[in-house]
Structure 1
Amino acid sequence: MKKENRLLTIDGETLMSQPLTPLNFVVDTLLSQGLHILAGSPKVGKSWLAVTVAKGEAVWGMGVKQGTTLYLRLEDSTLRIQNRLFEITEDAPANVHFSTNSDTLGKGLEEQLCAFLAEHPDTVLVIIDTL
């Protein structure tokens, strides 16, 4: 028997009558909590974003929710990450974390991320470069 493949919809009247929770932003009006794909060439600002959010500094004039950040730089070495940090800051905070090695999706990465989040419940940003 074929499973019915229908659109799940909500009518306007019902939607207007529901109290909904506002979005929680990591970077005000730009980057809300949740899953996003941020694509960019090398040195376009992914490391800078991770460090800036960890420090709680404004991003392009927008406020941030300061917290722990995790950046999986899966095609880099520790030396390359260190060199990049020296280029973008004089004082990388202890709450920005980097890793050059992880399991893959469906083969342990989810568990690794859950363990990190359990150890660092104030995490506000996780960047994965490259799956």
Structure 2
Amino acid sequence: MMRALLLSALLLAGPAFAVQPDEILPDPALEARARDISAGLRCPVCRNETIDDSTAGIARDLRLLVRERLEAGDTDQEVVDFVVARYGEYVLLSPPARGSSLILWGAGPLLLLLGAVIAGAALRRKPAPPEPLTEAERARLDALMKD
């Protein structure tokens, strides 16, 4: 019984966000859009943490900025474009694959393929089996083993 209560409490709690109550918009539709946008924006000072998950001051500023832009009537893409124009593509958790980021997108699969080729070549190169012992070597080995 106690285990069931604990499990249900954990399931109902939902994810923990750093969004403060004073940041939440009164319009549920706008707030939902703000959360969707925030899920794709990275905190500039935290590594791979969304602005909703981060407690950093800059993340709070970005959350407020997103909500201000939405209240001003911007579309979701206009909000994202505005944030990217101010902070660069680094704030996108999934930056588009173009320009210099193509190198980053292609480096992983390329290195994996290169590693597979090197591993295949190393496995194919089996050492040659040793030559069998001559009669003189076998006799000497037998003599050493008896001593």
- Shorter-chain-normalised TM-score: which range? under 0.3
Structure of larger gyration radius = 2
Which protein has the bigger helix share?
A: 2
TM normalised by structure 1 equals: 0.26
More strand by share: 1
Higher relative contact order structure (alpha carbons within 8 Å, sequence separation ≥ 6): 1
Superposition TM-score, scaled by structure 2 size = 0.24
